[in-house]
C-alpha cells in the first residue's frame, strides 16, 4: 500500500484551528512556560483564535534567566512531544534555515518514546501486507527492540526461517503530525505578518520544508530504496556488509530487513573479547565514509555509534538508512579544495571556496571574511598535520560561515556532520587515529580527476552544447521580450515593508478612542437618567442608571488594566 500525502493546509483567520483547540492550548502553554510570551503577544493570536487565550497559564519556569534562547527552544520542543522532537532533529541538520547555535542545541534531542501495543503493530502489518501475520512470519516478538517517535522495531522470523527485523509506523502518526504542522503553519503565518524582518526569515517556508522531509521519513519504501542503492555501491567491497531488504514484506508503513547479529561499534569490551581490532575498525570506518562521499556522492548522514555494528573479521555494518545525503561532483571538488587550502594555509583560496560552497541574501564583506579566514588559519599555522583534527577544523569553518550570514546547503552540512562523527568515533577506537592522513588520498584523487583528458573533453563538449542551445534560443527570447514591451505587459512590482507596526499602532489608537467614546456616552447617559426620575428605583436612584454606571465602571477598569499590562486592547 502507498502512503498518503501529508495534508498540511495553511490556516486562515480562524479556520481549522477550532478543530485543534486543545492541542493549540498545550503548545501555547509550553511556549509561555519557557519564556516566549513576548513573542506570542507580538503575534496577536487572540485576534485570530477564540480558544480562551486569557485562560492559558502564562507562568514561566524558574531558572530560565541563565539559559540561552536556543536552550529554551530545545527544552520546549522536548515538552511538546515526539512530533516536535522529530522536527527539531530535522532542523538540526539544516544550517540554511537556522543559526549555528540552534543547530548544536537541537542536535541534543533524543528520539526515545514509549512503545505502542504489539497488537496494534501486528494489525498495521496485516493491513499493509493484506495477509494474516502468520502467513508471513513464523515468529513475531511482541516486545520491540527499539521505539522512536515515528515507529518501532520488532524482531521476527519469516516463514522460510530467515531472521528479520520489522519496522512498523506508529498508528495515526500522520494525523498527529498534520495537526501539529497546521498549528505551526498558522504561527509561522502570523510571524510573517506581525514581526518585523520575519518575512525575510521565511518561517512558512520552513514549515513547508518540514512537511516535505517528514513525508519522506514516513515512507519506508524510500528507506528501502536507500538501502538497496547503498548496497550496490559496495557490492564488491569485503570490508562492509549491508543488510538485505525484503520487498515482499515492505510498504510505506512497514519495513522488513535482515536481522544482523553484530557488536555495537562503541562497545570496546565486546570488540576486544571477540578478538576484533579497534584500530583497523577505525581506519576502515573512516575510509568507508570517505568512499561514500568522495567516490559515490551518496552517504549515510547519521553514522552515530547506534547505527554502526561490527561483524567478524572487522567487517562494518551500517543500519538505519532513513537519513541519507547526496553531494555532486562539483561540491566534492570544492570541499577538497577547502580542506587542502586550509592545510596549506592559503586564506584567499579558502575564502573563494567558501563563497562557492555557500549562498547568501546579502553580499558578504569580502575583506572582513578574508580577515576572519586568516585568523582561523592561524590556529593551525604551527601545528604538525597529524595534530590537526578534521572535526574541529570544519567546526571553525562553520563558525566563520555563520558569522558572515552565509548559508550552507543542507547536504553539505550533513557531510560535515558525518565526517566529524566518524572521526570522533575513530579516536574513541584508536587514540592515535589521524583523520587528515586517512583523508589525504581521497582529496588528492578528487583534485587529480579534474585533469583526466576524457573528463576535460566531456566538459568542453557539454559547454559547447550549452552555448549552442543558448544562441539558438536567444532570438526567440528577445522577440518575446520586445513583444511584451510593445503590448504593455511588462510589470514592475513594488513591495512596501515596515508599515505593519504603524498600521497596528493606528488600529490600537482607533480602538481605544472608540472604546473611550462609548464609555463616555454611558457615563453621560447614566447621569442624565438620574435626573429623569425613571422607575424602577433602588434607594431613589433609577436601576437603569445604576446598570449604566456599573457597565461603564467595568469598561473603564478593563481599559485601564489592558493599557497598564499589555499596552493594547
The bridge status of strand 308-311 relative to strand 263-264 is antiparallel
- Strand segments (E) across 219-280: 240-241, 254-258, 263-264
Cα gap 14→7, rounded to integer Å: 18
**Cross-strand bridge partners of residue 115:** none
Q: Compute the average pLDDT of residues 425-433.
A: 90
Q: Identify the burial level of 36 via C-beta atoms within 10 angstroms of its C-beta, where 0-12 means exposed, 13-18 middle and 19 or more buried.
A: middle
Question: Is it the case that residue 125 has pLDDT exceeding 90?
Answer: yes
200 vs 254: CA distance, rounded Å: 40
Is the per-residue pLDDT at 12 higher than 60? no
* CA dist list (Å): 295 to 223, 233, 391, 429, 457: 21, 9, 20, 25, 21
Q: Give the range among 45-54, 77-86, 355-364 with minimum mean pLDDT.
A: 45-54
Flag whether pLDDT at 307 surpasses 60. yes
Q: Is 199 a catalytic residue?
A: no
Report the pLDDT value the prediction gives residue 282, as an integer from 0 to 100.
94
**Catalytic pick from 180, 219, 302, 372?**
302
Instruction: Kindly tell me if the per-residue pLDDT of 110 is higher than 60.
Output: yes
Judged by phi (left if over 0) then psi (alpha if -120 to 50, else beta), residue 345 lies in: left
Name the least confident of 244-248, 253-257, 558-562: 558-562
Q: What SS3 state is found at 497?
A: coil
Most confident of 364-373, 483-492, 537-546: 364-373
Q: Compute the average pLDDT of residues 150-160.
A: 93
Q: What phi and psi values does residue 34 have, to the nearest 5 degrees?
A: -100, 25
Question: What is the rounded distance in angstroms from the CA atom of residue 39 to the CA atom of residue 195?
Answer: 9
Radius of gyration of the chain (CA): 31
Q: What is the pLDDT of residue 490?
A: 65
Angle at 306 between CA 302 and CA 308, to 5 degrees: 75
Q: Which residue has the higher pLDDT, 287 or 342?
A: 287
* pLDDT for the residue numbered 199: 54
The pTM of the full predicted model, rounded to 2 decimals, is: 0.72
pLDDT digit string (tens) for 266-277?
899 999 999 999
User: Which pLDDT score, from 0 to 100, does residue 391 have?
Assistant: 78
What's the pLDDT score for residue 409? 85
Find the length of the chain: 569
Peptide bond just before 237 cis, omega within 30 deg = no
Segment 39-60 mean pLDDT: 62
Which phi and psi angles does 147 have, rounded to 5°? -140, 135
3-state secondary structure at position 24: helix
User: What's the chain's average pLDDT?
Assistant: 81
* Least confident residue range of 4-18, 146-160, 426-440, 446-460: 4-18
Q: Band of the pLDDT at 247, cuts 50, 70, 90? A: very high
More confident residue, 510 or 350: 350
pLDDT-derived band at 136, boundaries 50, 70, 90:
very high
Higher pLDDT, 69 or 558: 69
Parallel/antiparallel/unpaired status of strands 315-318 and 240-241: parallel
Give the three-state DSSP class for 383.
coil
Pair 263, 271: CB distance under 8 Å: yes
User: Residue 562: what pLDDT?
Assistant: 66
- Kindly list the distances between the CA atom of residue 244 and the CA atoms of 14, 19, 167, 209, 564, in Å, as whole numbers in the listed order: 49, 44, 14, 31, 67
Candidates 441, 432, 403, 397; CA nearest to 415 is 397
Specify the pLDDT at position 14: 41
β-strand partners of 254: 168
Amino acid at each position: 500500500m502507498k502512503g498518503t500525502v501529508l495534508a498540511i493546509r495553511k490556516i486562515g483567520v480562524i479556520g481549522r484551528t477550532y478543530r485543534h483547540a486543545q492541542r493549540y492550548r498545550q503548545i501555547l502553554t509550553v511556549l509561555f512556560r519557557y519564556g516566549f510570551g513576548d513573542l506570542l503577544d507580538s503575534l496577536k493570536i487572540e485576534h485570530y483564535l477564540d480558544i480562551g487565550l486569557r485562560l492559558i497559564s502564562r507562568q514561566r519556569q524558574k531558572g530560565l534567566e541563565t539559559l540561552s534562547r536556543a536552550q529554551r527552544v530545545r527544552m520546549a520542543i522536548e515538552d511538546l512531544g515526539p512530533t516536535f522532537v522529530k522536527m527539531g532533529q530535522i532542523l538540526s541538520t539544516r544550517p540554511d534555515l537556522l543559526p549555528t547555535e540552534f543547530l548544536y542545541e537541537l542536535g541534543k534531542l533524543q528520539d526515545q518514546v514509549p512503545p505502542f501495543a504489539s497488537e496494534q503493530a501486528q494489525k498495521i502489518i496485516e493491513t499493509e501486507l493484506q495477509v494474516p501475520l502468520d502467513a508471513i512470519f513464523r515468529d513475531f516478538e511482541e516486545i520491540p527492540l527499539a521505539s522512536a517517535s515515528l515507529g518501532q522495531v520488532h524482531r521476527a522470523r519469516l516463514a522460510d526461517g530467515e531472521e528479520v527485523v520489522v519496522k512498523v509506523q506508529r498508528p495515526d502518526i500522520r494525523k498527529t503530525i498534520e495537526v501539529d504542522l497546521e498549528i505551526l503553519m498558522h504561527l509561522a503565518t502570523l510571524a510573517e505578518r506581525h514581526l518585523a524582518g520575519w518575512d525575510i526569515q521565511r518561517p512558512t517556508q520552513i514549515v513547508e520544508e518540514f512537511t516535505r522531509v517528514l513525508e519522506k521519513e514516513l515512507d519506508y519504501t524510500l528507506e528501502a530504496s536507500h538501502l538497496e542503492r547503498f548496497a550496490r555501491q559496495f557490492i564488491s567491497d569485503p570490508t562492509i556488509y549491508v543488510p538485505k531488504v525484503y520487498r515482499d514484506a515492505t510498504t510505506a508503513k512497514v519495513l522488513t530487513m535482515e536481522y544482523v547479529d553484530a557488536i555495537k561499534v562503541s562497545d570496546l569490551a565486546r570488540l576486544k573479547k571477540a578478538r576484533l581490532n579497534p584500530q583497523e575498525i577505525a581506519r576502515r570506518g573512516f575510509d568507508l565514509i570517505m568512499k561514500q562521499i568522495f567516490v559515490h556522492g551518496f552517504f549515510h548522514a547519521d553514522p552515530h555509534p547506534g547505527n554502526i555494528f561490527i561483524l567478524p573479521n572487522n567487517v562494518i555494518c551500517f543500519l538505519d538508512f532513513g537519513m541519507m545525503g547526496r553531494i555532486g561532483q562539483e561540491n566534492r571538488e570544492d570541499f577538497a579544495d577547502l580542506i587542502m587550502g586550509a592545510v596549506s594555509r592559503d586564506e584567499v583560496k579558502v575564502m573563494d571556496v567558501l563563497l562557492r560552497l555557500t549562498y547568501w541574501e546579502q553580499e558578504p564583506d569580502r575583506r572582513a571574511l578574508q580577515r576572519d579566514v586568516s585568523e582561523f588559519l592561524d590556529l593551525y599555522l604551527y601545528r604538525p598535520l597529524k595534530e590537526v583534527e578534521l572535526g574541529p577544523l570544519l567546526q571553525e569553518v562553520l563558525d566563520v560561515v555563520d558569522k558572515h550570514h552565509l548559508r550552507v546547503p543542507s547536504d553539505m552540512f550533513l557531510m560535515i556532520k558525518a565526517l566529524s562523527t566518524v572521526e570522533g568515533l575513530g579516536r574513541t577506537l584508536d587514540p592515535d587515529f589521524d583523520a587528515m592522513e586517512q583523508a589525504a588520498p581521497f582529496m588528492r584523487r578528487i583534485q587529480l580527476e579534474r585533469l583526466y583528458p576524457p573528463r576535460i573533453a566531456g566538459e568542453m563538449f557539454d559547454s559547447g552544447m550549452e552555448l549552442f542551445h543558448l544562441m539558438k534560443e536567444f532570438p526567440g527570447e528577445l522577440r518575446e521580450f520586445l513583444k511584451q514591451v510593445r503590448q504593455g505587459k511588462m510589470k514592475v512590482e513594488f513591495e512596501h515593508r515596515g508599515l505593519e507596526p504603524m498600521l497596528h499602532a493606528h488600529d490600537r489608537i482607533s480602538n481605544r478612542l472608540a472604546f473611550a467614546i462609548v464609555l463616555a456616552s454611558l457615563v453621560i447617559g447614566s447621569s442624565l437618567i438620574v435626573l429623569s426620575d425613571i422607575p424602577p428605583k433602588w434607594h431613589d436612584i433609577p436601576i437603569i442608571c445604576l446598570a449604566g454606571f456599573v457597565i461603564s465602571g467595568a469598561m473603564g477598569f478593563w481599559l485601564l488594566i489592558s493599557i497598564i499590562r499589555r499596552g493594547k486592547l
